[in-house]
């Protein structure tokens, strides 16, 4: 099964690009960001804890953290409903949400028994034994238990983890009659080398836009910084990490798309993307309107002093991606 990842700084076009590619007859688009591969306590923490950073305590903790996370991305019906309602209320109050209080989740795209089966099979492959007990300093648990897991070779546990993800993905992909799946979590670009460990045949698309437009968009979000300076540093750090990640990826693994070019010449850019993915271009992908892409919004949204700061902090980044400082 093929995998496609889209990534960016956030507010750079990852969602809209995923919707466009999701119209393709061969591509299943996850209707939400999967998160459990690269978020804290996800596979990105589990794989090293079971391999090059292994210890009995660390392995036990990583497995329990991962299990807890997976039951948050697939919450029970009643708890999930309350989390969604509570999350909506908290958003209105400007308060942070419970982890993965998503409006859409795995519960909406696959039966619980399918999800449980894949998770149980994965756990069975990585856990040798479990017994009642606890590690000193492991926190309060009503029914403490310890997982016993061996130290894996990194490539072995990465392969097992990749098979697990494909196993979960196979249900919605087959149900939709597609051949490959697509995830659009923005920070995929920060962990591209890890994703490639699990999926050697993966394809990754980095979609970017003028970082100053990203700053303008960040200002409208609760998770954005409180100033242009905050956001400029945030964006610069993300793109510098991506430049490092690219160095470890084989040729033909990633493709970079300039949002402004996709808006100006959508068919031309989409044909290039389809060639990269190894699929045929389909006209129906043009059904999504890109005309409201807010290109150059920073010129109106940002104050002169904010523009000055953004240009100073992002100077080299702007030049690297072909944007003028003026």
Q: At what angle do helices 304-313 and 211-218 cross, to 10 degrees?
A: 130
CB 23 within 8 A of CB 287: yes
pLDDT of residue 75: 83
Question: pLDDT tens digit string along 12-26?
Answer: 999 999 999 999 999
CB 26 within 8 A of CB 178: yes
Q: How big, in percent rounded to 5, are the helix, strand and coil portions of the chain?
A: 55, 10, 35
Question: pLDDT tens digit string along 284-312?
Answer: 999 998 877 779 999 999 999 999 999 99
Residue 263, pLDDT > 80, answer: yes
Q: At what angle do helices 154-175 and 112-126 cross, to 10 degrees?
A: 170
The pTM assigned to this predicted structure is: 0.93
Average pLDDT, the chain: 92
Give the chain's domains with CATH numbers. 1-26+179-326 (3.40.50.300), 34-154 (no CATH)
Q: How far apart are CA 148 and CA 146, in angstroms?
A: 6
Question: pLDDT tens digit string along 108-152?
Answer: 999 999 999 999 999 999 999 999 887 777 776 656 789 999 999
How many residues can be counted in the chain?
Answer: 326
HEC string for 246-279: HHCCCCCCEEEEEHHHHHHCHHHHHHHHHHHHCC
Residue 79, pLDDT > 60, answer: no
Q: How far apart are CA 163 and CA 140, in angstroms?
A: 33
């Amino acid at each position: 099964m093929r995998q496609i990842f889209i990534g960016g700084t956030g507010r750079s076009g990852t969602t809209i690009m995923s919707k466009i590619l999701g119209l393709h007859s061969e591509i299943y688009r996850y209707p939400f960001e999967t998160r459990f591969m690269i978020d804290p306590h996800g596979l990105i923490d589990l794989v090293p804890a079971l391999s090059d950073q292994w210890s009995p305590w660390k392995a036990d903790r990583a497995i329990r953290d991962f299990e807890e996370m997976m039951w948050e991305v697939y919450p029970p019906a009643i708890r999930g409903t309350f989390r969604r309602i509570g999350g909506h209320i908290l958003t209105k109050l400007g308060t942070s949400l419970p982890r993965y209080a998503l409006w859409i989740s795995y519960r909406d795209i696959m039966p619980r028994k399918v999800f449980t089966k894949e998770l149980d099979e994965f756990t069975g492959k990585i856990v040798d034994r479990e017994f009642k007990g606890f590690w000193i300093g492991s926190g309060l648990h009503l029914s403490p238990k310890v997982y016993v897991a061996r130290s894996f070779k990194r490539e072995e546990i990465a392969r097992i983890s990749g098979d697990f993800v494909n196993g979960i993905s196979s249900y919605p992909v087959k149900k939709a009659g597609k051949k490959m799946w697509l995830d659009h979590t923005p920070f995929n670009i920060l962990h591209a080398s890890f994703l490639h460990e699990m999926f050697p045949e993966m394809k990754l698309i980095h979609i970017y836009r003028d970082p100053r437009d990203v700053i303008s968009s960040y200002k409208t979000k609760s998770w954005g910084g409180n100033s242009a300076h905050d956001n400029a540093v945030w964006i610069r750090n993300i793109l510098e990490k991506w430049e490092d990640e690219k160095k470890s990826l084989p040729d033909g693994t990633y493709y970079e798309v300039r949002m402004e070019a996709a808006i100006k010449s959508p068919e031309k850019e989409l044909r290039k993307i389809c060639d990269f993915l190894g699929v045929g271009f389909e006209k129906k992908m043009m059904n999504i309107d890109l005309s409201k892409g807010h290109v150059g919004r920073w010129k109106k949204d940002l104050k002169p002093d904010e523009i000055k700061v953004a240009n100073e902090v992002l100077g080299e980044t702007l030049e690297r991606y072909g944007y003028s400082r003026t």
